[in-house]
Amino acid sequence: MLRSIFLIGIILSSVVFTPFAFGQELQKSTWLETAAVIYDQKFAKAVQASVTFETINNNEIQFPDELIEKIMSHEEIRFVLFTNMNQCVMGVSSDEQCIMIGFNRDLLKGDLGINAIHENGKRISDELITDINNAFGMNAEFHSMYLHMNDENQTPIGSDFTTLRIASSVFTLPKDESSTTFAKLSDQLINQKLRDSGGFYDVAKELAKNPNSIITAGIISQDVIPMMLFKVSTVYEEYLDDISMIQPLDYLGVNKLERSKYFADHFVPLNSVIQVIVIPDSPSKINAVNTNIITKLDSVEDLVEKGWFFTSTSYDAIDARFLFGTSNTVNADELVMELSAWDMQGENDSFSTENINIRIQNTEGEQYAILAVIIIVAIGAAIFYLKGYKRNR
């Protein structure tokens, strides 16, 4: 039971945590690339590293218009996903990979009983599976209807999605190595211009060479416009006895991370994000970082210099986003963060970013400030709204 909950959390953690509204007001770029490292010392006692691509433009992650229309015509459907995660649900063997059609099971059931969930889910999935197989370039066959059960006593990393009541129609096929699966799916789904643009894509390609990596791709249903997703993730199952030094690029296997050349000559500083989440076993705080701290996102000047923006400074869940500003690269040393135990006093459960020591001030952004203003004036995006970071729908 817990495995199925953890699966949804792993698959959709980027959907929960990624600020998809980023970049949409600047130059209307629909492509969002996120490299994330989650240090979960409390629950999974592991580190998850991932690279995720999201878009609402199916010319970037290429699913047929007809398939998207069919999926969106069924209000019960919450997602259509491929995953090669071991035993994607109970009863699936470790040498199989899955296509899952996820439903809101309350909508499937209606006023009827549990049999309606199985009957309606099977009927809808049978209507769609041929088109879905063609979209993924696969030949998956029906395995089972599976009810994902919530466990309120467990909180898998990145798993706000588990609050929904989901039933999945599961289809299976023989498993390939992750590197082979990545090559096949990326060629099938990701626009060649994006594949040739390097940066985050090259990191995802290398991450997929890890034999334990998980490849996930598909469509997430939203109110109006569906979101296309392509993700590579790896869980490093090691006990995190010491998280005093956070070095995220170590888990992504690179010393330097570059933005996609897809964004060359465009000022879209919010479309490439590095996310670090720390879930400590005991109250903790950030002591020091090696780059600038961005305290607000109210104007374009806030986006010129690269640095960390904190969306959560809670003692038990730290969430930091690194924004590139006018830069196209960041090296490992710039992303180092130092943590320490927090002797909580008073009722405040969050630490202040004003107390974080900045060891190295990054002044590169100042050299580009004038250029950034010129670009922004040219594209007519001097005013934008980022309050709440809610996903555009």
Structure tokens at 336: 């180092």
pLDDT value, residue 346: 61
Count of Cβ atoms closer than 10 Å to residue 253 Cβ: 13
Determine the Cα–Cα distance for residues 81 and 6; give it in Å rounded to an integer.
Answer: 15
Q: What is the pTM of this model?
A: 0.83
Count of Cβ atoms closer than 10 Å to residue 86 Cβ: 16
β-bridge partners, 314: 317, 350
Q: In the chain, which stretches have pLDDT less than 70?
A: 1-28, 150-164, 344-347, 360-393
pLDDT tens-digit map of 16-26: 334 434 433 45
Structure tokens at 129: 């599976």
Say if residues 9 and 247 touch (Cβ distance below 8 Å): no
pLDDT tens-digit map of 340-375: 998 766 667 888 899 999 986 444 443 343 333 333
Count of Cβ atoms closer than 10 Å to residue 114 Cβ: 13
Q: Can you spell out the DSSP letters for 328-381?
A: SEEETGGG-EEEEE----SS--B--GGGSEESS---HHHHTHHHHHHHHHHHT-
Per-residue 3-state assignment (H helix, E strand, C coil) for 295-323: CCCCCHHHHCCCEEEEEEEECCEEEEEEE
In this structure, what DSSP letter does residue 190 have?
B
Q: Give the strand order in the sheet containing 337-341.
A: 245-246, 337-341, 284-289, 357-358
Say if residues 147 and 162 touch (Cβ distance below 8 Å): no
> b/e per residue, 215-231, with b = 16+ CB within 10 A?
bbbbbbbbeeebbbbbb
pLDDT value, residue 46: 93
Q: Compute the radius of gyration of the chain from its Cα atoms.
A: 21
Angle between helices 200-207 and 178-189 (to 10 degrees): 150
pLDDT value, residue 179: 96
Count of Cβ atoms closer than 10 Å to residue 110 Cβ: 11
> b/e per residue, 166-186, with b = 16+ CB within 10 A?
bbbbbbbbebeebbebbeebb
pLDDT value, residue 345: 65
Question: What are the structural domain ranges in the chain?
Answer: 2-389
Structure tokens at 160: 């706000």
| Amino acid in position 241 | D
Query: Any idea which residue has 């069919």 for tokens?
Result: 70
